[in-house]
A and B are shown apart, each in its own frame.
Chain A
Amino acid sequence: MAEGHVVGIDLGTTNSLVAYMEGDRPAVIPGVDGAHLVPSVVALDPMTAQGSRPTVTVGNSARKALIETPERVIYSVKRLMGRDLEEVRTELKFFPFRLAGDIEAGEVPRIQLGELRFTPPEISAYILRQLKRNAERFFGSPVSQAVITVPAYFNDAQRQATKDAGRMAGLDVLRLVNEPTAAALAYGLDRAKKGTIAVYDFGGGTFDISILKLRDGIFEVQSTNGDTHLGGDDIDNLLLAIALDEIHVEHGVDLRAHPGAVQALRKAAIDAKIRLSTEPAAHFDMELPNGERYQREIPRAVFELLIEPVLKRTAGPCKQAMADAGVTPEQIDEVVLVGGSTRIPAVRALVDELFRLSARGKKPHTELNPDEVVALGAAVQAGILAGASSTTDDMLLLDVTPLSLGIEALGGTVARIIQRNSTIPASATEHFTTGVDGQTNVAIHVLQGERELAGDCRSLARFDLKGIPPMAAGLPRIEVKFLIDADGILHVSAREQRSGKAAQIEVKPTYGLTDEQVENMILDSFDHAEEDFSRRLLIEVRNEADAILAAVAKAPQNPAWNELSAEEQATVAMARDRLVLVKQGSDLRAISQAIVALDKATRHFAELMMDAAVSTAIRGRTMNEAGKEVDEAVTAPHDFAPAEFN
């Protein structure tokens, strides 16, 4: 593929994953440690010297730092994406992060991490960069294009923030895909081709419900609803709050003053939650700073009572989504469960009731790992966009905008111009005029949301239509076109029709980073890192090439070599010469491909060598000796030695 791999990324609240299309199946790309999930945790490393570039740790090792140096670590940053100062303040009541002090209204909030401060997109960019690196390590070639998933109920600002993060990480974000829709794509690969399905996606920090109609490979979303403030985090916080209160009351220790201890308790709460999905009770047992122990048993019944209000909040969106799609629960053929929180038995019971599943002899779909299904679906969408696989050729995703788009009208009311659940791309054209003679500009306030009053909706942007030719009031006719693209992001253009003049628009997003700010963040933190990384990758690939060439050079001394046909020997020689040639250059991909080609050419030889070693062992030598010989022999490239870069 000339353009390289397009990967699918699930940028989750708790965990993130990267996947790709392995032939006609999506597969998750493991990290260096072999794990599929990369915890969405970012830790700022200790600063080595004054003025040195900050370095960060992402994933499991960052999670370890959470208890030792909590003031340098951030998690669940997705909950802060695209949010304004006030919203972030509310969120932070539940999280130990500090907001940088001197932020003005309208600015993107920054989080204080150690001695530095970062915007949420920058933090997300670090996670994305880690995933990008994992993929590059896996492929042995650079990855620059990705599909990233977002909660279906994300608004314009949250989507834009996610795209900004991608750009900062050096990724060309080909498409933002809604998480529940991605899950449907992952399941759609081997499912019946027709029917109505509901995807119930209850993750770490967000809840989404989507109703889709499947027909001949077209996935047409009928409606979507959700809550971007509802997830497993809320359950953790409930357990945590109770434990903190009990410790305070029973042991006289206020752990809130010990961030490290709170994190340890938080981890215990999460563990208890997970255990309660399979066991009738879970235990808290923790040593407190004063030497006493906090011990507590939580029976499942108590847990379920505790979390009921959280779970109940998913019911409203489900009912609204069904109403908007014009379907009854009985008309839903299948229900797909996505997100770690759907492992909770009480959640499954609620889903069963909402969609009348067991009453109809049905069960929800849980065949695919709920933690991985979104990333797998993102990989499928990446395959669709790359147009590289016949499996995805016939598939097409038609998604909708989750929230209505409106304009502030007289009296602070909202006039809807694009209804929620409209298939995207969607557009609307509105006409505006002036109210005063000679007026040359008109201000427009664009909002997103379902409420009647502008003050209750999410302010997206204020536009100033400028350069209107001076005319009598009411005479100018300015046509403004609103277009929501396939990522769910709004674009605006305007034209004065009477004079034919294109009116200038000054788009001032209410929240979010300007293009220039995004550019600067790329330069500041990644430009050199990327360069360094490519160079490092090149060195690693050359090292691998050298190892293979050395092994091939020794090959003729091995008796197995003579068992190869002359043709096979010639093929190996050709592949070897090719690798020697391209290794001189710095084309990463060419070198990787030449390595793969040589590996393939020598496969038969490697097999013969293995056979020889094994039969020697059978002829009465100890397994240990034979093993040594095998070990030595298999320094030749073979199937079982995938490229591994550190």
Chain B
Amino acid sequence: MLKVLDSAVPVACWSCSVAHNESTLFCPDCSKIQPPISGDFFSVFGLEHRLNIDLAALEQEFHRLSRRLHPDRFTRASENEKEWSLADTALLNDAYRTLKDPLRRTEYLLKLEGAPTTLLQDQERIQIQGKTSRVPADLLEMVFDLNMQLEEMRKSKAMGQEDLELRESLRKAKEEFEGMVDAVDRDLRAQWAIWDAGDAAARQAAQHAMVALIDRRKYLSNLVRDVTELLGD
């Protein structure tokens, strides 16, 4: 499982000079750490691009690799080895953080596959982060109502009043939106299965669907977050 990429280029180990596959984290002969390889987050764990992954196995592999790669294991090693361990461990941690989370994993894979996405590029993301995107058409009416209620709630809060009826209504709205988030998650999972098993055409369609679902989910969870914050419970 240590092999990261299927590279055929043999490289000599810096320490023992035995030739090995370029994509190996440790020399198979002397076990010394090798200069970091570049690869995507899936390849770090020896995984193919798949959306359904075994999370227990992922965690186990994360722990196994951490034990070998972590800088704690290299305090008495050479400067080079320390640097490689740091770079490898950072990559491992970044990969684990991304893959263990269903949404991050989906977004990451879509980006890797070059999906025709409305997912924002780095530069754009920096500029408009925090602002909510456009409202999904079927939600317009609900969101309009909700915003009115939120505004009212803020006002009464500012005046030190507690409108129990309004609170109850907001709580209901929150539940409704949470239910919609769950529905999006179910739909996403269905698309995962299609993507994982499908041919190029099926994948293309699934990617489109997932991009839209993720947008919708972000919008919904922002709403839920706003309401939760205001309700304070």
Do these two chains interact?
A: yes
A residues touching B (Cβ–Cβ < 8 Å)? Answer: 3, 174-175, 215-216, 218, 384-387, 396-398, 407, 409-410, 413, 415-416, 422-428, 430-433, 452, 483-486
Question: Does B35 reach chain A (CB closer than 8 Å)?
Answer: no
A628 to B110, CA, bound (A): 86
Contacts of B71 in A (CB 8 A): 425, 485-486
**Are the C-beta atoms of B90 and A430 separated by less than 8 Å?**
no
| B137 CB to nearest chain A CB (Å) | 28
| A88 CB to nearest chain B CB (Å) | 32
Contacts of A3 in B (CB 8 A): 76
A296 to B103, CA, bound (A): 60
Given contacts A409-B127, A415-B126, contact A387 B93 (CB under 8 A): no
Given contacts A422-B97, A425-B90, contact A396 B129 (CB under 8 A): no
Interface residues of B in 30-78 (CB under 8 A from A): 63, 66-67, 70-73, 75-76
**Are the C-beta atoms of A423 and B97 separated by less than 8 Å?**
yes
Of A384, A422, A483, A484, which contacts B72 at CB under 8 A? A384
Contacts of A215 in B (CB 8 A): 63
Question: Does B94 reach chain A (CB closer than 8 Å)?
Answer: yes
**Are the C-beta atoms of A431 and B76 separated by less than 8 Å?**
no
B residues touching A (Cβ–Cβ < 8 Å)? Answer: 63, 66-67, 70-73, 75-76, 86-87, 89-91, 93-94, 96-97, 122-123, 125-127, 129-130
Contacts of A410 in B (CB 8 A): 126-127
**Are the C-beta atoms of A452 and B76 separated by less than 8 Å?**
no
A438 to B76, CA, bound (A): 46
**Are the C-beta atoms of B126 and A483 separated by less than 8 Å?**
no
**Are the C-beta atoms of B72 and A385 separated by less than 8 Å?**
yes
Contacts of B72 in A (CB 8 A): 175, 384-385, 396-397, 486
Contacts of B73 in A (CB 8 A): 387
Given contacts A3-B76, A175-B72, contact A427 B91 (CB under 8 A): yes
Tell me what chain A mostly uses at the interface: helix, strand, loop, or mixed. strand
A595 to B86, CA, bound (A): 41
**Are the C-beta atoms of B90 and A483 separated by less than 8 Å?**
yes
**Are the C-beta atoms of B75 and A385 separated by less than 8 Å?**
yes
Given contacts A422-B93, A425-B93, contact A396 B66 (CB under 8 A): yes
Contacts of A415 in B (CB 8 A): 125-127, 129
A415 to B127, CA, bound (A): 8
Of B75, B86, B96, which contacts A174 at CB under 8 A? B75
A385 to B122, CA, bound (A): 37
- What are 14 A-B pairs with beta-carbon distances under 8 A? A175-B72, A215-B63, A385-B75, A386-B75, A386-B76, A387-B73, A387-B75, A396-B70, A416-B129, A423-B93, A430-B122, A433-B123, A486-B72, A486-B86
A279 to B89, CA, bound (A): 51
**Are the C-beta atoms of A413 and B130 separated by less than 8 Å?**
yes
Output the nearest chain A residue to B131 by Cβ-Cβ distance: A413
**Are the C-beta atoms of A387 and B125 separated by less than 8 Å?**
no
| B63 CB to nearest chain A CB (Å) | 5
Output the nearest chain B residue to A427 by Cβ-Cβ distance: B90
Output the nearest chain A residue to B127 by Cβ-Cβ distance: A410
**Are the C-beta atoms of B91 and A413 separated by less than 8 Å?**
no
A415 to B124, CA, bound (A): 10
**Are the C-beta atoms of A483 and B86 separated by less than 8 Å?**
yes
**Are the C-beta atoms of A216 and B130 separated by less than 8 Å?**
no
Contacts of A483 in B (CB 8 A): 86-87, 90
A427 to B90, CA, bound (A): 6
Extra pairs beyond A396-B66, A486-B86 (7, CB < 8 Å): A215-B63, A218-B66, A385-B75, A422-B97, A427-B91, A431-B123, A485-B71
Contacts of B75 in A (CB 8 A): 174-175, 385-387
Given contacts A3-B76, A218-B66, A485-B86, contact A407 B126 (CB under 8 A): yes
The 10 closest A-B pairs by CB, nearest first: A415-B126, A425-B90, A427-B90, A423-B93, A385-B75, A409-B126, A486-B71, A425-B89, A431-B122, A415-B129
A407 to B130, CA, bound (A): 14
Of A174, A387, A452, which contacts B130 at CB under 8 A? A452
Contacts of A398 in B (CB 8 A): 66, 70, 93
| B9 CB to nearest chain A CB (Å) | 21
Tell me what chain B mostly uses at the interface: helix, strand, loop, or mixed. helix
**Are the C-beta atoms of A426 and B94 separated by less than 8 Å?**
yes
A218 to B67, CA, bound (A): 8
A432 to B121, CA, bound (A): 11
Contacts of A216 in B (CB 8 A): 63
Given contacts A175-B72, A452-B130, contact A426 B93 (CB under 8 A): yes
| B104 CB to nearest chain A CB (Å) | 10
Contacts of B70 in A (CB 8 A): 396, 398, 486
Of A386, A427, A430, which contacts B94 at CB under 8 A? A427
Contacts of A387 in B (CB 8 A): 73, 75-76
A424 to B96, CA, bound (A): 12
Given contacts A423-B97, A486-B71, A486-B86, contact A218 B126 (CB under 8 A): no
| A579 CB to nearest chain B CB (Å) | 30
**Are the C-beta atoms of A426 and B76 separated by less than 8 Å?**
no
| B183 CB to nearest chain A CB (Å) | 21
Output the nearest chain A residue to B122 by Cβ-Cβ distance: A431
**Are the C-beta atoms of A413 and B66 separated by less than 8 Å?**
no
Output the nearest chain B residue to A417 by Cβ-Cβ distance: B126
Find the residue from B67, B75, B94, B123 having the highest chain A CB count within 10 A: B75
**Are the C-beta atoms of B129 and A413 separated by less than 8 Å?**
yes
**Are the C-beta atoms of B96 and A423 separated by less than 8 Å?**
yes
Contacts of B96 in A (CB 8 A): 423
A216 to B67, CA, bound (A): 11
A427 to B97, CA, bound (A): 11
A289 to B13, CA, bound (A): 77
Output the nearest chain B residue to A416 by Cβ-Cβ distance: B129
Contacts of A397 in B (CB 8 A): 72
A433 to B70, CA, bound (A): 34
Contacts of A407 in B (CB 8 A): 126
A396 to B125, CA, bound (A): 35
Given contacts A385-B72, A425-B89, A485-B86, contact A218 B63 (CB under 8 A): yes
Output the nearest chain A residue to B68 by Cβ-Cβ distance: A396
Output the nearest chain A residue to B88 by Cβ-Cβ distance: A425
A385 to B74, CA, bound (A): 8
A427 to B129, CA, bound (A): 19
Of B93, B123, B127, which contacts A424 at CB under 8 A? B93
A259 to B98, CA, bound (A): 55
A307 to B27, CA, bound (A): 59
A410 to B126, CA, bound (A): 8
**Are the C-beta atoms of B123 and A426 separated by less than 8 Å?**
no
A433 to B125, CA, bound (A): 14
Contacts of B122 in A (CB 8 A): 430-431
| A188 CB to nearest chain B CB (Å) | 15
Given contacts A396-B70, A398-B66, contact A426 B90 (CB under 8 A): yes
| B61 CB to nearest chain A CB (Å) | 12
Contacts of A432 in B (CB 8 A): 123
Contacts of B129 in A (CB 8 A): 409, 413, 415-416
A216 to B63, CA, bound (A): 9
Find the residue from A396, A407, A432, A484 having the highest chain B CB count within 10 A: A396
Output the nearest chain B residue to A421 by Cβ-Cβ distance: B97
| B127 CB to nearest chain A CB (Å) | 5
A9 to B71, CA, bound (A): 20
| A365 CB to nearest chain B CB (Å) | 24
Output the nearest chain B residue to A487 by Cβ-Cβ distance: B71
Output the nearest chain B residue to A400 by Cβ-Cβ distance: B93
Contacts of A386 in B (CB 8 A): 75-76
| B91 CB to nearest chain A CB (Å) | 7
